[in-house]
Amino acid sequence: MGSLSPGTVKDLIGRYNFRIKKTLGQNFLVDGNIIKKIIETAGLKPGDVVVEIGPGLGSLTCEMAEKARRVIAVEIDRSLFPILEETIGSLNNVSLVEADALKTDFDRLVFDAVREPAVYKVVANLPYYITTPLIMHLLEKRFSISRMVIMVQEEVARRLTARPGTREYGSLTVAANYYARVETAFRVPRTVFIPRPEVDSAVVSLEVRDQPAVSVLNEEHFFALVRAAFQQRRKTLINALSGMRDRVPKEKWSEILRQAAIDPARRGETLDLREFALLANLYTQTS
């Protein structure tokens, strides 16, 4: 069927008496050029297996099915299924699965579809309310994902790619770049969706690393330290870290920071990935 025009989208919504759900962040993409750019960013090849989270009305699904070996479309909203049966039901290499992406074992999902373990790509137009938890679910579980190409609100794209010392830099930035090489592929104006969202979006590419960007002795300690550093951004590093759950005394943190050659008066938002790893490893060694 290919990309859906605004008229076709309105026709489908009307014929099936579909009610758009703001609570699920439903905004349907109606621009063929944007769809082509998403596929180019994903670098789809004939042997690829792709998981699409939130196929909407199936416009991107159809285009990906022409390029990839298999497309597995994961949709939580059962009321979209009659429309999707019309738009993608005839495609032999597309599976439609009703599931909550936040609770899904994607490796199992892919295995069930292709009957073998496979490395795969994830493509998604993420609603704002699940963006951060879903990104972390996909990365933390260490699924067999080679690349994620996700459409997010532009503000989230800035957070994912921010530099230390900037307002957007935070724990999401550190975590995403720990697991993946992250870059913004292109901006997407709000005008290419029905209904039109209130903000612009961006497509972000996350190339999942074979090994994390930095070596840490204890990931739980690493991420606890990162969270503490950003929890109260105005605090100096030593005060922020002293407020961690295990209540390590300030004197101990002073010694750890001295060993790391990091000024205790700095703020957490100025530390890069390497410095967070160094602090976490010293903390682990002295715990």
Domains and CATH numbers, the chain: 6-208 (3.40.50.150), 219-286 (1.10.8.100)
- pLDDT band at residue 127 using 50, 70 and 90 as cut-offs: confident
Q: How much of the chain exceeds pLDDT 70, in percent?
A: 99
- pLDDT band at residue 37 using 50, 70 and 90 as cut-offs: very high
- pLDDT band at residue 117 using 50, 70 and 90 as cut-offs: very high
Report the C-alpha gap between 130 and 112 in whole angstroms. Answer: 25
The average pLDDT across 213-228 equals 96
Report the C-alpha gap between 252 and 103 in whole angstroms. Answer: 39
Instruction: Inform me whether the pLDDT recorded for 46 exceeds 90.
Output: yes
The reported pLDDT for the residue numbered 243 is 81
The average pLDDT across 24-28 equals 86
The reported pLDDT for the residue numbered 134 is 96
Instruction: Inform me whether the pLDDT recorded for 171 exceeds 70.
Output: yes
Determine whether 59 is exposed, middle or buried from the number of CB atoms within 10 Å of its CB (0-12, 13-18, 19+).
buried
Instruction: Inform me whether the pLDDT recorded for 74 exceeds 80.
Output: yes
Q: Taking a C-beta distance cutoff of 8 angstroms, is the pair 246, 184 a contact?
A: no
Instruction: Inform me whether the pLDDT recorded for 236 exceeds 70.
Output: yes
Mind listing the pLDDT tens digit for each residue in 248-270? Answer: 788 999 999 999 999 999 999 99
As given in the structure block, the two tokens for residue 120 are: 């795969």
Average pLDDT, the chain: 94
Nearest to 102 by CA among 70, 143, 136, 134: 134
- pLDDT band at residue 2 using 50, 70 and 90 as cut-offs: low
The average pLDDT across 34-55 equals 97
The reported pLDDT for the residue numbered 1 is 55
Q: How many CB atoms lie within 10 A of CB 188?
A: 24
